[in-house]
Structure 1
Amino acid sequence: MDRDSHTRRGKWSEAGVPKKGWTCVGFEDLEEPSQLCEMCDSAEIRYAHIMEHPDYPGSLQVGCVCAEHMEEDYKRPREREKRLRNSARRRAAWPSRKWRTSRQGNLYINTDGFNLTVYRAGAGWSVRVLRRASGAVQAGSKVYSAETDAKLAAFNALLWAKDHL
């Protein structure tokens, strides 16, 4: 071990790696702390901020603190992570929410201005999302073997629909 290896912090210590001016191009919930931050190589992260810089090849998946320094923004990374945390909590409780049964016998839930329907499709289950205000609708193309899986897919469809319908 060389003399000052204890003071190095991953790419923060590497010459040629930009320290500022990065842009977050995405973020994801890894569902548990399961990866080291690719910038500091020391923080184990659950919520990965995907960062890119024009002077760096590829992208880095980093934790919130490194994202703050890389973006030079101490508000947005925390807001992104808060949304992910809230979404993860909501997703965990989603299948056990009170689902109603339509006249056609389909399970549905109305939330956030959307109607989400889980219905039988052959031997499995499928999903449909409707924006109630506009009537815009999108049916899922995938068939799920379990009702719970279809309910979780309905949650994902809700997140998608908020941005696209």
Structure 2
Amino acid sequence: MPTESREEQIVAAGRGKWSKAGVPHKGWQCVDIEDLGEPQIECGMCESQTIRYVHHMEHPNYPEVLEVGCICAGHMEGDVAAARTRESSMKSRTHKRKRWLSRKWKISAKCNPWIKADGFRVTVYRRGSGWAATVSSQNNSLVQHSRRNYKTEDQAKLAAFDHITRLLAKET
């Protein structure tokens, strides 16, 4: 039988908000997940674990969104497997993001770099003194243009990648 992880032991011990009155233990929903690049903030639920992958959890009977780690998120929503799957997907996206700029981008008739990935087409282009991007689903049911300009072409490409990651996370 596998031993419990440190995070599981912390939850079981009722550390942090797990032992505070007025903090719901179940019925939470993950509204976003992000990669901080390295472990750097404390889990908002157990208040014991330093986390890198942040699950943003929301509850109708709690006033704030809590930023928590994977195991706490899983217990809060009542589905540890779903939290692990969500975090695994984010880790995969992190690795894919590292390779994003080195992928083979095609050049459009208007001389703009573009690529198809994950069911989307990304086009980056000059706008004013900077760069912008358009992300569209391959069937064109969704077309979104970046609201802001980026200093470099690479920054626009990475912003488009991050936008696709958020769109994919909403689908799951």
> TM-score if structure 2 supplies the norm length?
0.78
Q: Distance in 1 between matches of 2:63 and 2:49?
A: 22
**Whole-angstrom CA distance in 2 between matches of 1:57 and 1:77:** 22
Q: What 5-or-longer segments of structure 1 have no aligned partner? A: 1-6
Matched, 1:51 2:74: no
1:127 aligns with 2:133: yes
The answer to whether the 8 Å contact 2:93/2:165 transfers is: no
Cα contact 1:129–1:161 (8 A) shared by 2 = no
- Is 1:153 the counterpart of 2:159 in the alignment? yes
Please identify runs of 4+ aligned residues in structure 1 that moved more than 6 A: none
**What is the root-mean-square deviation of aligned Cα atoms in Å?**
2.4
2:73 alignment counterpart: 67
1:8-47 matches, within 5 Å, as 9-47=15-53
What is the alpha-carbon distance in structure 1 between the residues aligned to residue 152 and residue 109 of structure 2?
A: 21
Instruction: Give the SS at the match of 2:80.
Output: coil
CA drift of 1:89 comes to 1.4
TM-score using structure 1 length: 0.81
Q: Does 1:140 align with 2:151?
A: no
Deviation at 1:81, TM superposition (A): 0.8
Q: Return 5+ residue gaps in structure 2 as ranges.
A: 1-12
Q: C-alpha offsets along residues 99-135 of structure 1, whole Å, 9 cap, x if unaligned? A: 1222221111122332211112232211122323236
Measured at CA, do residues 152 and 34 of structure 1 come closer, stay the same or move farther in structure 2, by a change above 3 Å?
same
2:140 counterpart letter in structure 1: S
Distance 1:60 1:132, change over 3 A: closer
Aligned residue-pair number: 158
Instruction: Give identity over the alignment, percent.
Output: 48
The match for 1:117 is 123
User: Partners of 1:60 and 1:136 in 2: how far apart?
Assistant: 30
2:111 corresponds to 1:105: yes
For the residue of structure 2 that corresponds to 1:155, the secondary structure is: helix
Conserved? CA contact 1:33–1:45, under 8 Å: yes
* Residue 67 (structure 1) shift: 1.4
Q: Report the residue type matching 1:117 in the other structure.
A: T
Q: Indicate conservation of the 8 Å contact 1:22/1:52, yes or no.
A: yes
- The one-letter code of the counterpart of 2:136 is L
Deviation at 1:72, TM superposition (A): 1.9
